[in-house]
Structure 1
C-alpha cells in the first residue's frame, strides 16, 4: 500500500555543481525537495522506490546500490540508491538526480530501489504498474521524478507553445490535491507535444495512490528556464 509520495523535478541543474554560478536560482526548489523527502521519512515506509523517465536501454528495475553519474553534464558527481553492490547498469539521469536528493538529505529510513519508465508508456499501463507496486509492499513510499512542459517561453528547450501553461497548471493542481483521477486523465499526446518528461511517472503514481485517501500538498511550481518544475508531497 502506498503510504507516502514525494514528487520532484529532475533537471541536472538541480545539482549546484552542474548549475555553477546559477545554482542559487533553484535554491527554493531544492529546499522544497528536502521538505518533500522529509514527509517520506516521517511515513516510515518498508520500501522506497524512486521512479523517473528513462530512455532505452535505461528502463526497468534498478536494485539497491545502483549508481549513476553526471559526468555527461560536465561534473564528477555520482549518486547511488542506498546500500548494495553497484549493479550492471548505470542509473538514468532522472534516477541519478533522485539518488542525489536522497544522499543530500541523508536518507536511511528504508531500502531504496529504482524504476526507469518510458515516456511512451500508455496511461492505462502506467496506472496498472502503480497498482501492482502498491499491492506488493505493506508500506510503500514513492519518490517520483519528472518535469513538466518544456515550452513555457521562447527560450525554453522546446518551441514556445501556448498550451504549456494550462497543462502545467492542471498538473500542479492534480499533484497538490493528490487527485489521482486528474493525473490519470493527463493527455499523453499533449504531454509529448509539450516535451513533458514526467507524464508516465505521474500516472504510475496515480495508479499507486488510488483509494488510499492520501492528502497532497504543492510545495513548489515555477518555470525558471521555460520548463515546468513541481514539488509535491502526499501523506
Structure 2
C-alpha cells in the first residue's frame, strides 16, 4: 500500500562536500528536501523505494553502494544491505544520501529507470512497488529540463519552461500528467520516467492522493528542480 512520497532532484551538488563554495546557494533546496523526507518518513513506511534515473532498467532489491569520488570527495553511501558490487547510479546514490541524512534505518530498495522507458511500463512498475509491502513510501529522484537558460547544460530551449510548469502543476495537484517521453528526452529532463513510476504507484481509486505540496520549484543553474510531498487519503 502506498503511504507517502517525496520528490527531489538528484544533482550531486546537493552534497555540501561536492558543492564546496557554492553549497550555501542550494541551502533552500536541501531544506525543502529535508522537509519532504520528514513528511514521508512520518507516514511510518515498512519499506522505502528510491526510484531514479539510470542507464538501464534495473532493480536493486537487496540494496547497493554509491560514491561521489568522481566528484573529488571521498563520500560513500549505501542503500539497503550495501551489497558490494551493486553500484548505484548517481541519482539513486543521491537518494541514498538523502535517506541517510534523514536518519532512515529501515528497509530500503532501489529502482533505476532509463529515460526511454514507456509510460505503460513505468505505471506497471509503480503498481508493483505499491504492492511490495504493507506500507510503502517512494523517494522519487529526477530533474526537469536542463535547457531553461543559455547557461544551462543543454542551452536554452523555449519549450523548457512550459514543460517544467506542467510538471510543477502536476506535483502540486497530486496528479501528474502522462509526460511526452520524446519531448522530455529533447529537454534533458531526467525525472520523466521516475515521475511516471510515482504516478502509477499513487494512481488508486481506493486511496487517491489527498495531500500534495510543492515545496520547491526553481532552476538555479538552468535546470528545473522540484521538491514535493505526497500522501494518500486515510
8 Å contact 1:65–1:87 — kept in the other structure?
A: no
Q: In the alignment, which residue of structure 1 is the partner of 2:103?
A: 106
**How far apart are the structure 2 equivalents of 1:112 and 1:169?**
31
**How far apart are the structure 2 equivalents of 1:201 and 1:87?**
25
Q: Give the alignment of 1:150-169 within 5 angstroms.
A: 150-169=146-165
Match of 2:94 among 94, 97, 106: 97
8 Å contact 2:49–2:129 — kept in the other structure?
A: no
1:65 deviates by 4.6
- TM-score normalised by L of structure 2: 0.94
- TM-score normalised by L of structure 1: 0.93
1:159 deviates by 2.2
8 Å contact 1:68–1:91 — kept in the other structure?
A: yes
Does structure 1 residue 213 correspond to structure 2 residue 208? yes
1:122 deviates by 0.5
**How far apart are the structure 1 equivalents of 2:24 and 2:65?**
26
SS of match in other structure, 1:4: strand
Q: CA RMSD in A?
A: 1.2
Q: In the alignment, which residue of structure 1 is the partner of 2:33?
A: 33
Q: Give the alignment of 1:1-235 within 5 angstroms.
A: 1-56=1-56, 59-82=57-80, 84-108=81-105, 110-180=106-176, 182=177, 185-211=178-204, 212-214=207-209, 215-235=211-231
1:89 deviates by 1.7
8 Å contact 1:18–1:75 — kept in the other structure?
A: yes
1:62 deviates by 1.4
1:63 deviates by 3.8
1:87 deviates by 3.3
Q: How many pairs does the alignment contain?
A: 228
**How far apart are the structure 1 equivalents of 2:60 and 2:85?**
9
Unaligned segments of structure 2, at least 5 residues: none
**How far apart are the structure 2 equivalents of 1:201 and 1:85?**
22
